[in-house]
Chains A and B, each alone.
Chain A
Amino acid sequence: MKNRIIKWIDQRFPLTSFVKHDLTGYPTPRNLSYWWNFGFLAGFVLMLQVATGIFLAMHYKADVTLSFDSIQHIMRDVNYGWLLRFMHATGASAFFLVIYIHMARTLYYGSYRAPRELMWWTGQGLLLMLMATAFMGYLLPWGQMSFWGATVITNLFRATPFIGEQVVTWLRGDYAVGDATLTRFFALHYLLPFLIIGGVVVHLVALHTVKSSNPSGIDLAAKDNIPFHPYFTIKDLYGLGIFLIVYCIFVFFLPNSLIEPANNIPANPMQTPTHIVPEWYFLPFYAILRSVPNLVGGVVAMGLSVMVFSFMPYLDRSHIPGGAHYRPWYRVTFYLFVADMLVLGYVGYTPPTNQSIVMGQVATFFYFILFMLLPFISKAEERWLIRRGLPPDVEAMIAGEAKEKSKLPQRRRRGDIT
């Protein structure tokens, strides 16, 4: 009976071949480390956010006079409303943490290089949509930080040439952040996750065309690829367990550590908080914005600091495999970049003082300089590594994989492999 149903479907829809091609039989490099778990985790958190978000939307009211109260209604009166809300609020941080690790892995292992540029660029688009979704979701509780954060960020569009004022008014739906802004942010906050799901599908189709990269950076021969199921389904589930433990520690024991105290005060347009800070995941970019004294310059620098990742396939001119693993100079660059991000995050968090402003400017300068020097560093490093030779085990591995691949057509002809 079951077989007959599947056969009936298969004649009309490629079900079995899809499952075989993309799930059970999908060839995956066997040497993937746990850093390759984070793409799956990002997908999981996306589903978690959509699920909790839909239930929150059933009780939330997008109206400036009601939204703060409706959050308290969810927190106090709705059955397990506090759990839904803390899962969703903590989920936003978890999403960015997972995505930042996913990106750091891509940068470290050079996974953005050919033929995976489209994966990197669709990922960049997903990051932008995630940032927009998080920013708009942050307005919804209508607390002090929600209101002032949205005011500061929408104000940045004043930097648009010629029509700055009009663009800001158009975005807000009013001259100031108000009811019109809240309702449209709610509508878009509900829409964007579904666009993100669409983007993820494109990201995955691209992945299944070019297949996963791996820590060696070498395109592995068939014998070193294993089917996704059961090997990576179980490995992803184990990683998910570890992730959920960390996530639940925050949800159940430290949920308020991720919520600014000022956001527990209802929005008051007449009273500016002493110190406006974004959520932790925007701090480095916020620091870059503040480090440039001029509004237009700051906005351009901030936009560029996010978009500069797209250029990585061109900025990195080395063809040495394995990303930072076999490339000592690139490795140093990578760690300097991570350290610079942390410094920028710290600068974004502290109220501006003479010291922190200088520190932010140095770190901003350093941020862009690292990207600008990368073409020269990577090319010089490639020449140096070719002259010096790769470690013998890497050379052996490259030779082995190449030999394995050249054998493949003959063996297939002889019928060794089905």
Chain B
Amino acid sequence: MTVHDVKHAASDSARLEAVGGRLSRVDGPAKITGAARYAVEQQLEGLAHAVLVDSTIAAGKVVSIETQAAKAARGVIAVLTPDTIMKLSVASDWFGNPLAPQRTFCPLARDVTYCGQHIAVVIAETFEQAVSAAALVMADYDQAPALVELGDGTAGEIISIEGMTKEWGNAQAALAEAPVHLSAVYNTQRSAHAAIEPHGLIARWEGDRLTIWEPSQWLDGMARTYAEWFGIPFENVRLVSPYIGGGFGSKALALAHSAVAAAAAKMLGRPVKLMLTRSQNFTSYGGRATTRQTIDLGADKAGRIQSIIHRGVSEVSLEGMWVEAVGSITSIMYDTPNFSSRQDVVRLNTVLPNPKRAPGENPSAFGIECAIDELAHELGLDPLEIRLINYAEQDPHAKKAWSTRQLREAFAVGAEAFGWAKRSPAPRSMRAGHQLIGWGVAAGAYPVQRAHGEAVVKIMFDGSVEVESSSIDMGQGTYTILAQTAAETLGVPVSQVSVKLGDSHFARAGVTGGSRLAGIMTGAVHKAASQALDELIGLALSDPRLPFHGLQANTLAVKDGRIGSPRGDGPELSIAELMSMLGRDRIEAKGDTLPAGTTAEERYKNYTTIAMSIPHTEGDYSRHSWCAHFVEVKVDEDFGTVRVSRVVSALDSGRLYNPKLAESQWKGGIIMGIGEALLEEGIVDRRHGRTVNSNFADYMLPTNADIPDIQTISVGIPDPHSSALGGKGVGELGIVGVAPAIANAVFHATGKRVRDLPITLEKLI
């Protein structure tokens, strides 16, 4: 795949192209002309189309499936059921732990644990034929009562997640002694990733080699899963995902439908395309889990927190495990001498929840950032002031210095830009006509997640540069910042660099999640490019036919694609001329950031599991990105409708590799936060355990009309402890703290404290 070039005025280009420059997306021209071909848009000869049939009950057994009518329908090639689809091996988990090697995995369910579970698949010559035949498949069930809702009488098994317990001091005693108390329960809803590109794939077998075109946040991890399912070598699986139409955490794993398509393709000996319907995108994989958290705060009369006791619970499916860790940032936002946080999960008849943008941190912020606002109100303190009174100068839990924490600056800069000083403190004291106006603030944090990465950089005979990685770009700007990094490191214009991503046959990459990719990949590309440059210069110096022969090693540099003395006072050649004189068609370097002596097994594990992630508190520092959101809402006093009318956010993501793209990601996170605060909720019919709003007309994503101007301000400084080039996380950070900022603003507008998301109109009228 070729990445299109963007032309800029020459005078601007150097500034824009440098790392840290506001270069427009290099993959932009392909995306705005329709030329960008997403994974499932691959055109193959002989493609068959698969459509899934899903369970209509949430719990029980499939007794029988009637397939005759579907099989007889025009164009139908096959109808597969749990009895007839091929059985696979059980793949290992995120960490690479084998789960049940002795068992087999049937990607179509006989035992139903959630509504919408795939029980059959119809494969036909055309999409339309598969859709209509799938409607003819009828199942008989032996239905069992479903466990449907967190915390009510029907809740299932409760499991304590001991590893998430955090304790210091004596929280109970300190709470009892504190003169000021606050106790509240905060609930966050089930919400969907709702990427506009649906999940789906094309699977094609050639012998025992499998090619999968599938949107993916983790090509190597998903390739491992396919290899394990089908018992073939990892190298035999090729995953292709050149562009991803939004992921937000949902596209990191190969899922049951992926297995169905790959199995069907193998059984039929034909490439098979399977796209989940929009409704299935709500029911086939989980979004953010429902959470409930109780916060007890004890403080002195000056507002200094003495104790925090936090108890959180999130929902999980009957099979598998995912914890929405609602205590994840409760422990680091404020300085407290006494603290206790525990986490449970409750098993329900729901699909396995997944990480969604800032999993854990986002609902965690809703608890602690509302609670501190409530405490401020109780004490008559300004919400900003109470945050500064309790400012944590070091990580209160890890007891380590922050690598960088520009949160105080975020408060100051954000407040100034927002005009916070003009806030009238009393609730219901600001209005315009029928609109009650409220101003709220909340902070957020996201840990710096790190791992090792690798990249290949090739200097080609014509002076062009190719960067290859199996990492991906789902809109964060990977293509662009890696082009900037390679160009800057090698001294060539960005227009000479083409970045190739999204093919598992390229240099390996770990998961794109947890805002880790930019930091890892800029480091790996910088290293690979440096190695390639060293080799180029070394060859230039050592070849007796060249004018540079015999010069000192540090006397040559590449600038604007030409090699010569940095002072411009000696011989000079273009890279193409140099390559020609050297007689080389390419110089290729693979750079990685793994420690010396890393074994092949460790390398494989590093890229195909998350087992080798580096803790954010490793060594002497605690590493996080930070933000402060200032929000204005307008609440209609009659209708209870809340509209966000202004947002100013100050964010510390360390050094930004491309501020233009980072700002877009921040805004995207803020907007997703507005959705979760006010609109989005997966609503379940408790009688059936079925999501009833599994579509975009009933599950409310924010529209353009719901979103005001958003001002984002970078307050970050380069953080050498967080990444090679000084950046921290960007993509996840923006959402954290948005919902509490809005809830706090709604309280300020109306005097009503809403502790259950989303804040819909009936909660305010």
Q: Do A and B come from one complex?
A: no
